[in-house]
């Protein structure tokens, strides 16, 4: 038996060293500034070594994506606790947008890259954190619909309505399209729009 406990630990340590360097590079220079060779340089190993711990660059990006959901959870954990479903939706929406605007590179990895989604079989396990979040939103929508006795509205359609709205707002802002059509502070505009959306949906 060649795999002693210590060996296994060391193997994991180098893997984490790689991921840590990758994370720092992502935050410092974005996805474009993240390269295998630079990671190798940073941790003082050869580029080839990285391929002993990860299949390819996508595998690294994928693990970073999962870390991103951890960061996002920090933004949303208070919102999840909110008792009133409508207030909860409101709070989740604002937290989602704030996370997106303040963490462009995480957001890109989690919601815009199609790299980690290459194989549809695998992705349903891989994106389980995202799925769980959407399931929670759908549940919240169900509660809101029941509480306000809104008719002819399906919970999963409403959830998608909300998700696509905030996702659209975040993307329009991150790619600077909002700055183009509306010169003044887009951050404020986004908040106002989200408030208007929720007000529209839940008006009597």
Partner DNA sequence: CAAATATAATGAACACTGTTTAGTAAATGG
Partner DNA sequence: CCATTTACTAAACAGTGTTCATTATATTTG
Q: Which residue ranges make up the site for DNA (CB under 7 A)?
A: 1-4, 6-7, 10-11, 14, 34-38, 44-49, 51-52, 56-58
**Residue 111 interacts with, from DNA, a copy of itself, none (CB under 5-8 Å by kind):** a copy of itself
Residue from 17, 71, 123, 148 binding a copy of itself (CB under 8 A): 123
Minimum Å gap between C-beta 65 and DNA is: 16
Binding mask 90-119 for a copy of itself (x = CB under 8 A): ---------------------xxxx--x--
The CB-of-13 to a copy of itself minimum distance in angstroms stands at 32
SS3 114: coil
Angstrom distance (rounded) from CA 54 to CA 4: 21
**And the tokens for 76?**
């949303």
Q: Which does 47 bind (CB under 5 to 8 A by kind): DNA, a copy of itself, none?
A: DNA
The secondary structure of residue 183, as a DSSP letter, is -
The binder of 129, among DNA, a copy of itself, none, by C-beta within 5 to 8 A per type, is none
Question: What's the N-to-C CA distance of the chain in angstroms?
Answer: 69
Asked whether the CA dihedral 38, 42, 46, 49 is positive or negative, the reply is: negative
- Assess 131 for contact with a copy of itself (CB under 8 A): yes
CB 62 within 8 A of CB 122: no
Rounded distance between C-alpha atoms, residue 59 and residue 127, angstroms = 13
Minimum separation from the CB atom of position 14 to DNA (A) = 6
- Measured between alpha carbons, how far is 86 from 102 in angstroms, rounded to an integer? 24
Q: What does 15 interact with, of DNA, a copy of itself, none (CB < 5 to 8 A by kind)?
A: none
Which residue stretches of 44-154 are H helix?
47-50, 57-81, 85-102, 104-107, 120-126, 128-148
The contact set with a copy of itself (CB under 8 A) reads 111-114, 117, 120, 123-124, 127, 130-131, 134-135, 153-154, 156-158, 160-161, 163-169, 171-172, 174-182, 189, 192-193, 196-197, 200-201
């Amino acid at each position: 038996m060649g795999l002693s406990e210590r060996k296994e630990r060391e193997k994991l340590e180098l893997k984490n060293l790689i991921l840590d360097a990758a994370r720092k590079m992502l935050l410092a220079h974005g996805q474009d500034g993240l390269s295998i060779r630079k990671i190798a340089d940073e941790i003082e190993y050869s580029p080839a070594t990285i391929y002993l711990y990860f299949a390819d660059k996508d595998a690294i990006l994928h693990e970073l994506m999962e870390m991103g959901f951890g960061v996002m959870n920090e933004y949303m954990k208070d919102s999840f606790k909110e008792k009133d479903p409508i207030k909860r939706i409101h709070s989740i929406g604002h937290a989602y947008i704030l996370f997106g605007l303040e963490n462009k590179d995480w957001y890109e990895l989690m919601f815009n890259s199609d790299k980690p989604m290459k194989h549809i079989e695998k992705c349903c396990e891989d994106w389980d954190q995202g799925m769980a979040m959407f399931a929670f939103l759908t549940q919240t929508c169900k509660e809101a619909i029941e509480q306000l006795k809104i008719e002819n509205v399906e919970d999963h359609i409403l959830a998608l309505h909300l998700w696509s709205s905030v996702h659209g707002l975040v993307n329009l802002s991150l790619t600077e399209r909002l700055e183009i059509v509306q010169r003044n502070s887009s951050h404020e505009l986004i908040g106002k729009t989200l408030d208007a959306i929720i007000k529209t949906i839940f008006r009597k």
